A and B are shown apart, each in its own frame.
Chain A
Amino acid sequence: MLFRYLFILLILLPIKAFALIEVDITRGNLNPLPVAVSPLAIDKSSKENFNKILKKKNLGSEISKIVENNLKQSGLFNPLNKDAFLQEPDIANLKPRFEDWNLIKAQALVTGKVTFVDEKLRVEFRLWDVLAGKEMMALAFTTVPSNWRRVGHIITDKVYERLTGEKGYFDTRIIYISEEGSKTNRIKKLAIMDQDGFNNKFLTLGNELVLTPRFSPTNQMVTYLSYFKNLPRVYLLDIETGMQEVVGDFPGMTFAPRFSPDGKKIIMSFAKDGNSDIYTMDLENRIVERISNHPSIDTSPSYSPDGKFITFNSDRSGYQQIYVMSSNGKNVKRISFGNGLYGTPVWSPRGDLIAFTKLHKGKFYIGVMRTDGTGERLLTENFYQEAPSWSPNGRVLIFYRETKTNSKGEGFSAKLWSIDLTGYNEKMIKTKTDASDPSWSSLLSN
């Protein structure tokens, strides 16, 4: 009997002795990651050449500033002050002294160099994990010197992707409606700029009223609505060639044309026989197809990224709410059930969320919900704001916000704002004029 107990004890003791302690880490911090962006090294002759062409004294430093600014704007990174750097930019040719970067609490480091090769701009950059003391990524590319701002955006995209696990959104453009003049007599022009507000260009003169520009998810095409002799007309604009064409004239109230995920169709709502429904138009053969057919007002359609579903808003329940249906118009299902009115639903490029505008008790909210209507989260609240548009990675929303006027009708302004899905990183995007109705392009370097 004693031997039996001893035997069991002998078996159990080692199991107990070698049981590995497990600790579950279920929380972390959402603080921005400290990143050091070392100015890109540049040799003397390259510096002189770029100065002649671009009028930039130190192109390496200028590009690193773009990277730094982008990372900061994302809210996920904290670029460290360059004054604290202990190593010179010449580290582009050497492995960094990680202890020096560790000392200033950098967790990631971007180094690189810029050279002038055959009239072109060649850039090499590396991303280092300071704590692990290893290289995480090393890339090089050559482009025309005038593309130098894009170089900064591309570097940021790559760094962002490597550190966060999802694609970036920095090498993109935003198309919007530029507004000038008093509230009652606004001149509205179509305008385009880089996502950081630089390289602003006006695409129309302001003679005609332009509304709701929307980028194609696949290429650099834009569709927008313009009034020609008080008749709504849908246009297509090719950003790469600058050519534009009329897609068609539509009677009655036409709203918000938007591309299908493959870019081959346009979906919009317009009124026919006094009833506003959702229609698609094939861009190749211009055949118009009715998708929804209901006596209520159906507007603001937006495709899911796989093209199988459409979200839209309708007042068929008595109040404006968000609905989802199959792309053929069947299986209509209401998904918003909260208090207030819901509008402008936009399906995320990731497919997991729908962004919307909500009006409740006189205040406007920008929010997101899952595609089945659960998990509603209101990200921002204001006097008047609407028209959310997703960044190509589905992480950030851009929208516009208007300010209240005083008793004399003064003080009105409309500005573009962005907010990320956490709801913390809310930022105004600087534009030369007032701005509304923004739409985010896909990545230019796809």
Chain B
Amino acid sequence: MNRNIIISFGLHTLLVIITAMSLPFLAKKPIDLPPIVSVELIQITDKTNIPFAPKAKKIIEKVKEKEKKLVSEQAPPKKVKKLKPDAVPLPDEKIEKIKKIKDEKQNPEKVETEIKQISEFEKKELFDTNNIAALIDKSKVESAETNKKLDKVTQDQNKEMDFGGLTLSEEDALKAQIFGCWSIPLGLPFNEDLLVRIKLQLKPDGSIIKTEILDHARMNKPGQGFYKVLAESALRAIKLCQPLRVPSTGYERWKDMQLNFDAREMLEG
């Protein structure tokens, strides 16, 4: 009887030991690790509206004044524009002047034929008061004709260029410049539409007047956070690059321009 009790006691003790050994949390102390304290972030943009530093204010005002001055200093190109209306007098005045010229001319027939040679459209554009003097002076008739012809050629060329896009070399120069300025955000998803279209309004020297993201609405769409990052990187590139390497002539054709920033090629590698 006692023997059975002893065996039973022994076996039970063994069972307890085995259980204790197979449950390490009984034997091991909890590991001392620094607690992970939760951190709650609060948006403070709306709560605070911090002012500009006093110095910065002054500098910004100065810059603005400078910009104003620069605009007034950029008057010379406008002078050229002003010349045009002078050169194209009102129809009545024009007729009067031509009549006067005709009266004063020793050989009016020649002038008439010359006017006939150019179309009505070109006549308005090419009629130049400077040439009137040449027309008055018979000795200058020939040179006036050549000038007219030269003007005609260049203006025709310009017109064609005004209507066309940038030449390959002009486009390449602009692209190469922006390639260097555009830091592509590397965290963008590969399988999304990574195209940002930005419309620019440019000054003749290539600096930016205005930028406009064409798909602006997409920036605030849920799940399109990457688009905002991409658009901002494109805007940074434009600002960093300005003044842009634009052609020295033909401002009218490139004063408005659209840049399509496409990150897919780079990210898909």
Please list the residues of chain A having a beta carbon within 8 angstroms of any beta carbon in chain B.
13, 16-17, 19-31, 33, 76, 87, 91, 93-99, 107, 124, 129, 131-132, 135-144, 146-147, 150-151, 154, 158, 160, 162-166, 192, 199, 201, 203, 220, 235, 237, 239-246, 350, 352, 393, 395, 420, 422, 444-445
In the complex, A201 Cα to B35 Cα: how many Å?
13
Would you list the 9 A-B pairs with minimal beta carbon distance, nearest first?
A28-B182, A166-B187, A164-B187, A165-B229, A242-B30, A242-B31, A165-B226, A97-B56, A16-B163
Verify if B183 is at the interface (C-beta below 8 Å from A): yes
Closest Cβ of chain A to B137, distance in Å, is 37
B182-A29 in contact (CB<8A): yes
B25-A22 in contact (CB<8A): no
Which stretch in B83-91, B98-106, B145-153, B172-180 binds the other chain?
A: B172-180
Verify if B253 is at the interface (C-beta below 8 Å from A): yes
Instruction: Indicate which residue in B53, B165, B235, B256 contacts A95 across the interface (CB closer than 8 Å).
Output: B53
Instruction: Indicate which residue in A136, A141, A235 contacts B41 across the interface (CB closer than 8 Å).
Output: A141
- Most chain B beta-carbon neighbours within 10 Å: one of A93, A165, A352, A420: A165
Chain B residues with CB under 8 A of A352? 189-191
Chain B residues with CB under 8 A of A24? 175, 260, 262
A19-B165 in contact (CB<8A): yes
B59-A97 in contact (CB<8A): yes
Binary contact readout B231-242 vs A (1 if CB under 8 angstroms, 0 otherwise): 011111101100
Verify if B36 is at the interface (C-beta below 8 Å from A): yes
Q: A95-B51, A164-B186 are in contact. List 7 more A-B contacts (CB 8 A).
A: A94-B56, A95-B53, A141-B39, A154-B41, A163-B229, A166-B187, A240-B36
B53-A132 in contact (CB<8A): no
Whether A98 contacts B44 in the complex (CB less than 8 A), given A25-B175, A29-B182, A29-B183, comes out as no
Verify if B209 is at the interface (C-beta below 8 Å from A): no
Whether A29 contacts B187 in the complex (CB less than 8 A), given A17-B162, A107-B236, comes out as no
Closest Cβ of chain A to B200, distance in Å, is 10
Verify if B266 is at the interface (C-beta below 8 Å from A): yes
What is the interface of chain A mostly: helix, strand, loop, or mixed?
mixed
Chain A residues with CB under 8 A of B258? 20-23
Closest Cβ of chain B to A246, distance in Å, is 6
Instruction: Indicate which residue in A16, A94, A135 contacts B45 across the interface (CB closer than 8 Å).
Output: A135
Chain B residues with CB under 8 A of A27? 175, 179, 182, 265-266
Chain B residues with CB under 8 A of A144? 37
Verify if B55 is at the interface (C-beta below 8 Å from A): yes
Chain A residues with CB under 8 A of B41? 139-141, 154, 158
**Closest residue of A by beta carbon distance from B230:** A165
In the complex, A68 Cα to B240 Cα: how many Å?
23
A243-B30 in contact (CB<8A): yes
A-B contact pairs, 17 of them (CB 8 A): A20-B257, A23-B171, A23-B257, A23-B258, A25-B182, A30-B183, A95-B56, A136-B232, A140-B44, A151-B39, A160-B187, A163-B229, A165-B228, A239-B36, A240-B36, A242-B33, A246-B22
Tell me which residues from 16 to 40 in chain B have a Cβ below 8 Å from any Cβ of chain A: 22-25, 28, 30-40
Chain A residues with CB under 8 A of B179? 25, 27-29
Closest Cβ of chain A to B108, distance in Å, is 29
Closest Cβ of chain B to A393, distance in Å, is 7
A220-B36 in contact (CB<8A): yes
In the complex, A129 Cα to B259 Cα: how many Å?
21
Closest Cβ of chain A to B210, distance in Å, is 13
Chain B residues with CB under 8 A of A142? 40
**Closest residue of A by beta carbon distance from B180:** A29
Chain A residues with CB under 8 A of B37? 143-144, 147, 150
